[in-house]
Chain A
Amino acid sequence: MTQPSLEKGVNILREQIDGPVAAFFSSCVHCGMCAEACLFYTETGDPKYTPIHKLEPMRRLWEREFTFAGRIKKWLGLAPPISDEELEQWQPVVYDSCTLCGRCSMVCPVGNDITYMIRRMREGMAASGNAPQGLIGATTRAVKLGSPMGVKLATLEAQARHVKISTGLDVPFDEEGAEYMVVLSSMEVVNYPEYLEAITRIFHEAGKRWTISTEAFEATNSGIQIGVSDIAAELVGRIVAAAEKLQVKTVITPECGHAYTALRWEGPNLIGRPFLFKVRHILEVLDDLREQGLLQTSGMENDRITFHDPCQLVRRGGVVDPPRNLLNMVSNNFVEMEDHGTMNWCCGAGGGVSANEAADEIRLKAFKRKKAQLESLEVETLVTACANCRIQLEEGIEENEMEIPVVGITEMLAAHLVEHPSSDEGEQP
């Protein structure tokens, strides 16, 4: 990151103000409904967590420079400029207590996409040096080491060897012309290696050629969470370069919410051109395989299970039906939470919150919303499709002395996978 300064911050924030932002600020009637949709407000009752209030410095900049009346106020000295102190004061609400979950944007009666603005506001915060330390650390590691958690290729290769030992199958690295290129999240590599084994077996059964690039296997993007588009573009660029070098048809993002948003929706806009390959979430791919009859499972889970919708995947990403189709394949006791799908409540750890130690306390407070949802359902197992959600869910469940195991969909499917003897390698049964 370049040396931050207030001037840079304000300049960048100014660039972030576009038609939607101006329309949103012009329309707010201070009704407070966005607060009731935000878990940081509902779980604390503190009005400072009102989503639209998190944008006050940006709103002031917009009013001062983009409206007629504001320019007059500025000229009369009635609209003071943004100060460093002000931005610093806003850091906790812009970062620690916003997961960019997008729920506020669903309920605002005038139609404000508040989340869109908070994502943009972070660009100004970061450029002015007001991003939290934890996120700066993660971003720096992502740029220098290729992973926000500092996970190296050797770690992944070790996981691949484990997969080989337990399944007899190779995890293919750097295979040119494969149909799929898989990218992973560091959290998965470290905490949930089950995922790698699951996809290895599933793709083998489906007869699909896939690969992992040794040059770009990290899917997460701290640049998006902290709000530095240049870095976000660089991280996306690494995956793009690898995918184009290996000439794959589709890049598959892992069970991670923001990695999907980063690559699928922000990616092409960050690098300034459309991709030459498709980007799909693993659940979309699995759902396609299911439709084509290439994903066959046997047996059913009898436990009462529910699905936690990762915000970036569902509400902000549009992958709503695939997880449900897939779960119904292996469960005959799948129940929905009261607010689910695009209206689901965030786990409390997205949008960089989990990488930001300053947010630890409020993050666990925010989990109470999920806790209430889970308790009213009385489920035995919780399924999700994001490693970051999963860590938060596991931590929250433990903290609250509940006993609900958390599972990823992909591994749940793999546990029911119908496998054929692998003598006739690659051929379809």
Chain B
Amino acid sequence: MSGAEFLLWMRGPGISFAALFFIAGVVLRLIEILMLGRTKNLAELRGSGSTAGMRTIATRFLPADANTFRRSLPTIVLGYLFHIGLFVVIFLLTPHIKLFQSVFHIGWPGLPTPVVDFFTVVALVSMLGLLWRRVSNRLLRFLSTGEDYLSWAVTFMPLLTGYLSYHHLLLPYSWMLGIHILSVALLLVIFPFTKLMHSFTLFIARYYNGAIAGEKGVQQ
């Protein structure tokens, strides 16, 4: 198989299959959660749970207060850098936007490639920092499971291979791009069965947390 054939296959059936698997998996997981529901609160409520729930979805993007921020400083800073970098790379790189456009028929303006390139480096470096903390910090090492490392690896690979292919490093371009798409496919397939699901479920979690507190009149 030539590099061009490999790339063609990955671009076509390879990634399509992975994407379908991803969608089915995510929907299944969300149904598993939402089906369980929450029993109605019979106490005399002090505030609207749904309003507070929606509010908490937004407020939890920021740390609770300055002292919380201080206490978990490296985790929070690296976490932000990584997530911002990842977001920019996925959604603001022009070739990615073109791909979304071909599937969903909606597009949006991207950032100049060198800027995205910079954010890729930010994401990669902060991910290395997060991994370093996971293995070196006593608390994080204790909490970490195989799944944490697996999730890290399948997220890191697309970033790395994307970076390498853009800079024409290591392998011929078509091979590297093919491997990049392969790594994305792997990410998509593994996604629904790991903590990567938090990208979707955190909205449900925050909503419930905020609603439970808001019904008691506690604002978060």
Please report A residues at the B interface, Cβ cutoff 8 Å: 17-24, 26-33, 35-37, 41, 45, 47-48, 50, 52-53, 66-69, 105-113, 116, 264-269, 272-275, 278-279, 315-318, 320, 338-339, 342-343
Q: Given A27-B205, A48-B142, A273-B42, are A107 and B28 also a contact pair (CB < 8 Å)? A: no
Report the Cα distance A20→B33, complex, angstroms: 8
Chain A binder among B71-79, B117-125, B161-169: B71-79
Asked if B41 and A112 make an inter-chain contact with CB atoms under 8 angstroms apart, the answer reads no
Residue in contact with A18 in the complex, picked from B28, B38, B145, CB distance below 8 Å: B38
B218 partner residues in chain A, CB cutoff 8 A: 315-318, 320, 342
Q: Quick check: is B170 within 8 A (CB to CB) of the other chain?
A: no
B36-54 to A contact mask, C-beta < 8 Å, 1/0: 1111011110100000000
Asked if A18 and B36 make an inter-chain contact with CB atoms under 8 angstroms apart, the answer reads yes
A23 partner residues in chain B, CB cutoff 8 A: 33, 201, 204-205, 208
- Range class of the B interface residue count: 35 or more
Report the Cα distance A267→B208, complex, angstroms: 20
**Which 8 pairs of residues, A with B, have the shortest CB-CB distance?**
A111-B206, A318-B217, A47-B142, A268-B42, A20-B208, A23-B204, A110-B202, A111-B205
B185-212 to A contact mask, C-beta < 8 Å, 1/0: 0000000010101100110111111101
Residue in contact with A20 in the complex, picked from B38, B71, B72, B219, CB distance below 8 Å: B38
Asked if B68 and A37 make an inter-chain contact with CB atoms under 8 angstroms apart, the answer reads yes
Chain A binder among B57-65, B85-93, B174-182: B57-65
A322 to chain B, nearest CB (A): 11
A18 partner residues in chain B, CB cutoff 8 A: 36-39
Q: Given A19-B33, A48-B142, A111-B60, are A32 and B205 also a contact pair (CB < 8 Å)? A: no
Q: Quick check: is B144 within 8 A (CB to CB) of the other chain?
A: yes
Residue of A nearest to B42 (CB): A268
Asked if A33 and B209 make an inter-chain contact with CB atoms under 8 angstroms apart, the answer reads no
Q: Quick check: is B1 within 8 A (CB to CB) of the other chain?
A: no
Asked if A66 and B142 make an inter-chain contact with CB atoms under 8 angstroms apart, the answer reads no
Residue in contact with A267 in the complex, picked from B43, B79, B219, CB distance below 8 Å: B43
Report the Cα distance A214→B76, complex, angstroms: 54
Q: List B residues 13-55 near A (Cβ within 8 Å).
A: 25, 28-29, 32-39, 41-44, 46
Q: Given A19-B208, A36-B68, A48-B142, are A278 and B44 also a contact pair (CB < 8 Å)? A: yes
Report the Cα distance A18→B205, complex, angstroms: 12
Residue of B nearest to A105 (CB): B209
Report the Cα distance A52→B201, complex, angstroms: 17
Residue of B nearest to A278 (CB): B44
Report the Cα distance A317→B46, complex, angstroms: 10
Asked if B28 and A68 make an inter-chain contact with CB atoms under 8 angstroms apart, the answer reads yes
Asked if B209 and A19 make an inter-chain contact with CB atoms under 8 angstroms apart, the answer reads no
Q: Quick check: is B106 within 8 A (CB to CB) of the other chain?
A: no
Q: Quick check: is B67 within 8 A (CB to CB) of the other chain?
A: yes
Residue in contact with A343 in the complex, picked from B64, B198, B208, CB distance below 8 Å: B64
Residue in contact with B198 in the complex, picked from A26, A32, A318, CB distance below 8 Å: A26
B44 partner residues in chain A, CB cutoff 8 A: 268, 274-275, 278-279
A27 partner residues in chain B, CB cutoff 8 A: 195, 197-198, 201-202, 204-205
Q: Given A23-B204, A27-B202, A113-B212, are A269 and B39 also a contact pair (CB < 8 Å)? A: yes
A27 to chain B, nearest CB (A): 4
Residue in contact with A106 in the complex, picked from B29, B64, B71, B142, CB distance below 8 Å: B64
Residue of B nearest to A17 (CB): B36
Asked if B71 and A36 make an inter-chain contact with CB atoms under 8 angstroms apart, the answer reads yes
Listed by A's residue number, 10 A-B pairs whose Cβ atoms lie within 8 Å are A23-B204, A27-B205, A47-B143, A48-B142, A107-B68, A113-B205, A113-B212, A318-B216, A342-B218, A342-B220
Q: Could you say which of A23, A27, A68 has the most chain B C-beta atoms within 10 Å of its C-beta?
A: A23
Residue of B nearest to A36 (CB): B71
Report the Cα distance A175→B42, complex, angstroms: 28
Asked if B142 and A109 make an inter-chain contact with CB atoms under 8 angstroms apart, the answer reads no
Residue in contact with A30 in the complex, picked from B37, B65, B145, CB distance below 8 Å: B145
Residue in contact with A339 in the complex, picked from B25, B67, B79, CB distance below 8 Å: B67
Q: List B residues 68-118 near A (Cβ within 8 Å).
A: 68, 71-72, 75-76, 79
B198 partner residues in chain A, CB cutoff 8 A: 26-29, 110
B191 to chain A, nearest CB (A): 11
Report the Cα distance A387→B46, complex, angstroms: 25
B197 partner residues in chain A, CB cutoff 8 A: 26-27
A47 partner residues in chain B, CB cutoff 8 A: 138-139, 142-143
A259 to chain B, nearest CB (A): 14
Asked if B142 and A269 make an inter-chain contact with CB atoms under 8 angstroms apart, the answer reads no
Q: Quick check: is B148 within 8 A (CB to CB) of the other chain?
A: yes
Q: Quick check: is B56 within 8 A (CB to CB) of the other chain?
A: yes
Q: Quick check: is B140 within 8 A (CB to CB) of the other chain?
A: yes
Q: Could you say which of A41, A107, A272, A275 has the most chain B C-beta atoms within 10 Å of its C-beta?
A: A107
Report the Cα distance A22→B205, complex, angstroms: 9
Asked if B208 and A33 make an inter-chain contact with CB atoms under 8 angstroms apart, the answer reads no
Report the Cα distance A108→B57, complex, angstroms: 12
Residue in contact with B72 in the complex, picked from A33, A105, A112, A339, CB distance below 8 Å: A33
Q: Given A53-B143, A113-B208, are A68 and B32 also a contact pair (CB < 8 Å)? A: yes
B206 partner residues in chain A, CB cutoff 8 A: 110-111
Asked if A50 and B139 make an inter-chain contact with CB atoms under 8 angstroms apart, the answer reads yes
Q: Could you say which of B39, B204, B207 has the most chain A C-beta atoms within 10 Å of its C-beta?
A: B204
Residue in contact with A35 in the complex, picked from B28, B139, B217, CB distance below 8 Å: B139
B41 partner residues in chain A, CB cutoff 8 A: 269
B35 partner residues in chain A, CB cutoff 8 A: 19
Residue of B nearest to A45 (CB): B138
Residue in contact with B79 in the complex, picked from A31, A35, A41, A278, CB distance below 8 Å: A31
Report the Cα distance A31→B193, complex, angstroms: 18
B33 partner residues in chain A, CB cutoff 8 A: 19, 22-23, 26
Residue of A nearest to B68 (CB): A107
Report the Cα distance A216→B65, complex, angstroms: 41
Residue of A nearest to B206 (CB): A111
